[in-house]
């Protein structure tokens, strides 16, 4: 019975109907500890947006099967995102030591992963109370800070392809990058 309740809670929390912030809403700026290729640094969303769109994706827990698959898919698409001027940051409530390993092993040194604080999780409306972290939600944020794409689904399918489609549409409408 307890297992059924957890599955139901995960399904409801990650349902597209609960897709956190809607396109058009302004993304909340944040600064966090982050890692790229095993090296820790301070990441700031507004600074990243000055270079182009940001694919901000939240995932429940590093090294779980779905989160590892999703990280692999984002790493495989990282060059395509980069060619369109977009950067990627994955966010979870994991600690910095876990993220250092995850950035190398699962993200394949291709993109940043950062610590999602409770404040960030709440401001992006991606809370997954059952696990004490975030659900699986992907946003594409335009350089002006507006959300272009939002997709919440516990399964991995649709996150990378949806984000790529949104970045391509943005690039087509903004060929000079801003």
What domain range includes position 56? 2-14+21-173
% of the chain surpassing 70 pLDDT: 88
- CB count within 10 Å of CB 71 equals 26
74 exposed, middle or buried (CB, 10 Å; 0-12, 13-18, 19+)? buried
Q: What is the count of structural domains for the chain?
A: 1
Question: Is 55 a domain residue?
Answer: yes
Give residue-wise pLDDT tens across range 14-44: 344 455 799 999 999 999 999 999 999 999 9
Q: What is the CATH number of the domain that holds 98?
A: 3.40.30.10
Tens digits of residue pLDDT in 67-109:
999 999 999 999 999 999 999 999 999 999 999 999 999 999 9
Residue 28 lies in a domain: yes
**178 is a domain residue:** no
pTM of the model: 0.88
The residue to which tokens 């391509």 are assigned? 168
Within-domain flag for 73:
yes
55-72 pLDDT, tens per residue?
999 999 999 999 999 999
């Amino acid at each position: 019975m307890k297992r059924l309740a957890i599955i139901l809670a995960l399904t409801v929390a990650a349902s597209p109907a609960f897709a956190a912030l809607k396109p058009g809403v302004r993304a909340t700026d944040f600064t966090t500890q982050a890692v790229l290729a095993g090296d820790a640094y301070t990441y700031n969303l507004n600074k990243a947006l000055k270079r182009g769109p940001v694919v901000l994706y939240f995932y429940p827990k590093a090294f779980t099967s779905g989160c590892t698959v999703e990280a692999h898919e984002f790493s495989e698409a990282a060059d395509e995102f980069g060619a369109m001027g977009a950067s990627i940051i994955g966010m979870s409530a994991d600690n910095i030591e876990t993220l250092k390993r995850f950035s190398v092993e699962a993200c394949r040194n291709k993109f940043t992963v950062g610590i999602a604080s409770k404040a960030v999780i709440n401001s992006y409306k991606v809370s997954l109370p059952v696990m004490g972290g975030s659900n699986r939600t992907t946003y594409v944020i335009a350089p002006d800070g507006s959300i272009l794409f939002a997709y919440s689904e516990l399964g991995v399918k649709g996150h990378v392809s949806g984000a790529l489609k949104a970045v391509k549409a943005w690039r087509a409408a903004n060929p000079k990058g801003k």
